């Protein structure tokens, strides 16, 4: 199903790696998604920002407009679309797809990045409403969004779906509950979709960013000195590589943005 020779952590990116591509990102209003949205724009992409807070979306939109691209060409103005993955119904996904169809007639990239941590606790005690919420945001809503956008991705001659994964979505760890199970599910979704689209121009892969200095990490490790962790801006290159033309032919693969030792040396028993 996949080409394993491609390594997104070792790809030499051209300054115009994403020039001309339209890339949708969920959760672009904080942390890794925000850093990625800015970097996609710097590499020339036209970014579609999908988030639940219009105020935060507008702030990222304005931050992108103020950037310089890596190739010196004008920045492509981003677009914003309100989308709360917890509350969205079919009509909300359709509205986004219709707007993208009218505007571009295609999508070249989709990054399923937004996620909820839930509550780290033993399965025996796990709060079921929280379980349902985490599984819905991290899995079901991402699947529904992808399903609705698939005709637009198929309309591209080189489209890339990237599922933002986690170490605990590849090896289960105690107390990670719904978050870990949701990331396993996202990995499964990636494999199933990649297999179904094997003969298409749409590739589907997962990328575990490893630990990063974000709000989610702070929530997971309240006593950790977060200043010692990588800035999300330093972890975007493998995402860009997977979204760009050099990843063509690579599908169904699970990648890590950081070396396993660095990504999984836990200060406690918990690893996002």
Give yes or no for residue 272 binding ligand NAP (CB under 6 A): yes
* Single residue of 61, 107, 211, 250 touching ligand NAP by CB under 6 A: 211
Phi/psi of residue 105, nearest 5 degrees: 75, 5
As a whole number of angstroms, the distance between CA 221 and CA 270 comes to 8
68/262 with CB nearer ligand NAP: 262
User: How many residues of this chain interact with ligand NAP, rule: CB under 6 A?
Assistant: 31
Binding mask 12-51 for ligand NAP (x = CB under 6 A): --------------xx-xxxxx-----------------x
Give yes or no for residue 85 binding ligand NAP (CB under 6 A): yes
H/E stretch holding 144: helix 141-154
* Single residue of 11, 56, 63, 144 touching ligand NAP by CB under 6 A: 56
* Single residue of 45, 114, 149, 150 touching ligand NAP by CB under 6 A: 114
Q: Which residues of 25-49 are buried (b: 16+ CB within 10 A; e: fewer)?
A: bbbbbbbbbbbbbbbbbbbbbbbbb
77 by Cβ neighbours in 10 Å (0-12 / 13-18 / 19+) ranks as: exposed
Provide Rg for the chain, Cα atoms.
17
Query: Of the ranges 9-17, 66-74, 145-153, 205-213, which one interacts with ligand NAP (CB under 6 A)?
Result: 205-213
From the list 43, 126, 175, 179, the catalytic residue is: 179
- For residues 168, 171, 177, 180, the Cα torsion angle rounded to the nearest 10 degrees is 40
* Single residue of 212, 241, 242, 243 touching ligand NAP by CB under 6 A: 212
Tell me which residue has its CB nearest to ligand NAP. 31
| Residue 179 among the catalytic residues | yes
In this structure, are residues 225 and 40 in contact, taking their beta carbons and an 8 Å threshold?
Answer: no
As a whole number of angstroms, the distance between CA 242 and CA 207 comes to 9
Binding to ligand NAP, residues 214-253 (CB under 6 A):
214-217
> Which residues contribute to the site for ligand NAP (CB under 6 A)?
26-27, 29-33, 51-53, 56, 83-86, 113-116, 137, 164, 166, 208-209, 211-212, 214-217, 272
Active site residues: 179
């Amino acid at each position: 199903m996949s080409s394993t020779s491609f390594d997104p952590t070792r790809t030499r990116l051209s300054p115009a790696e994403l020039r001309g591509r339209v890339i949708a990102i969920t959760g672009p209003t904080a942390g890794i998604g925000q850093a990625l949205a800015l970097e996609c724009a710097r590499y020339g992409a036209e970014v579609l920002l999908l988030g639940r807070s219009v105020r935060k979306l507008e702030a990222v939109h304005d931050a992108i407009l103020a950037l310089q691209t890596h190739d010196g060409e004008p920045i492509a103005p981003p677009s914003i679309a309100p989308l709360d993955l917890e509350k969205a119904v079919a009509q909300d996904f359709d509205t986004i797809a219709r707007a993208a169809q009218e505007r571009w007639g295609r999508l070249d990239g989709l990054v399923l990045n937004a996620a909820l941590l839930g509550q780290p606790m033993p399965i025996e005690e796990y709060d079921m409403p929280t379980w349902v919420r985490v599984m819905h945001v991290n899995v079901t809503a991402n699947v529904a969004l992808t399903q609705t956008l698939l005709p637009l991705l198929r309309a591209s001659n080189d489209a890339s779906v990237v599922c933002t994964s986690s170490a605990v979505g590849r090896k289960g760890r105690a107390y990670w509950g719904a978050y870990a199970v949701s990331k396993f599910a996202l990995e499964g979704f990636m494999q199933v979709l990649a297999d179904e689209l094997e003969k298409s121009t749409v590739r589907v892969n997962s990328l575990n960013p490893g630990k990063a200095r974000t709000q989610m990490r702070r929530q997971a490790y309240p006593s950790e000195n977060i200043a010692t962790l990588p800035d999300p801006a330093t972890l975007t290159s493998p995402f860009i590589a997977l979204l760009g033309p050099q990843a063509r032919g690579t599908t169904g693969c699970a990648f890590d943005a950081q070396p396993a030792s660095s990504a999984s040396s836990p200060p406690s028993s918990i690893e996002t």
